[in-house]
Copies of this chain bind each other. A is one copy, B any other.
Amino acid sequence: MPEFLHLLPPDEALKTWLTALPQPVEFNCERLDTAQALNRVLGEDITAPEALPPFPRSTVDGYAVHAASTFGATPSLPAYLDLQGEVRMGQEATLALEPAQAALIHTGGMIPDGADAVVMIEDTQRAHEGQIEVLKAVASGENILQAGEDVKAGQLVLPAGKRLRPQEIGGLMALGVTSVLVRKRPRVGIISTGDELISPDQQLEPGQVRDVNSYSLAALINRLGGEVSRQLLLPDDRQQLQPALKLAQAEDDVIVVTAGSSVSERDLTADTIAALGKPGVLVHGIQIKPGKPTILASAEGTPVLGLPGNPVSAFIIAGIFLPPLLQLLLGGAQNTPQAVVAASLTVNIASLAGREDFVPVRLQQEGEAWLAEPVYGRSNLIFTLVRADGLIRIPPAATGLDKGAQVMVHLF
Give the CA-CA distance A264 to B335 in the complex, in Å: 47
A169 / chain B contacts, CB cutoff of 8 Å: 215-216, 218-219
* Contact of A108 (CB < 8 Å), options: B110, B216, B260: B260
What 1/0 flags go to A26-63 for Cβ under 8 Å of B? 00000000110010000000000010111101010100
Give the CA-CA distance A106 to B384 in the complex, in Å: 22
* Contact of A206 (CB < 8 Å), options: B110, B158, B211: B110
Query: Quick check: B170 and A106 within 8 Å, CB to CB?
Result: no
Query: Quick check: A212 and B90 within 8 Å, CB to CB?
Result: no
Tally of chain A residues near chain B (CB < 8 A)? 107
Give the CA-CA distance A211 to B110 in the complex, in Å: 16
A76 CB, nearest partner CB in chain B, Å: 22
Given contacts A35-B218, A209-B53, A370-B337, contact A176 B157 (CB under 8 A): no
A247 at the B interface (CB under 8 A): no
A14 at the B interface (CB under 8 A): no
* Contact of A90 (CB < 8 Å), options: B38, B208, B215, B340: B208
Give the CA-CA distance A264 to B105 in the complex, in Å: 11
A337 / chain B contacts, CB cutoff of 8 Å: 341, 343, 363, 365, 370, 389, 409, 411
What 1/0 flags go to A158-174 for Cβ under 8 Å of B? 10000001111111011
Give the CA-CA distance A195 to B260 in the complex, in Å: 64
A194 / chain B contacts, CB cutoff of 8 Å: 89-90, 108
Give the CA-CA distance A175 to B211 in the complex, in Å: 10
Closest to A384 in B: B150
A191 at the B interface (CB under 8 A): no
Closest to A264 in B: B106
What 1/0 flags go to A184-220 for Cβ under 8 Å of B? 0000000000111100110011111111110111111
A315 at the B interface (CB under 8 A): yes
Q: Taking the full assembly, how many copies of this chain does it contain?
A: 2
Give the CA-CA distance A91 to B236 in the complex, in Å: 13
A223 at the B interface (CB under 8 A): yes
A239 at the B interface (CB under 8 A): no
Query: Quick check: A212 and B170 within 8 Å, CB to CB?
Result: yes
Given contacts A195-B88, A196-B90, A206-B55, contact A412 B165 (CB under 8 A): yes
A353 CB, nearest partner CB in chain B, Å: 21
A-B contact pairs, 17 of them (CB 8 A): A34-B215, A50-B204, A87-B207, A90-B194, A106-B260, A106-B263, A108-B209, A108-B261, A108-B309, A108-B380, A157-B386, A166-B216, A166-B219, A173-B212, A173-B215, A177-B200, A339-B410
Residues of A within 8 A of B (CB): 1, 34-35, 38, 50, 52-55, 57, 59, 61, 87-93, 106-110, 121-122, 145, 149-151, 157-158, 165-171, 173-178, 194-197, 200-201, 204-213, 215-220, 222-223, 235-236, 260-265, 309-311, 315, 335, 337-343, 363, 365, 370, 377-378, 380-386, 388-389, 409-412
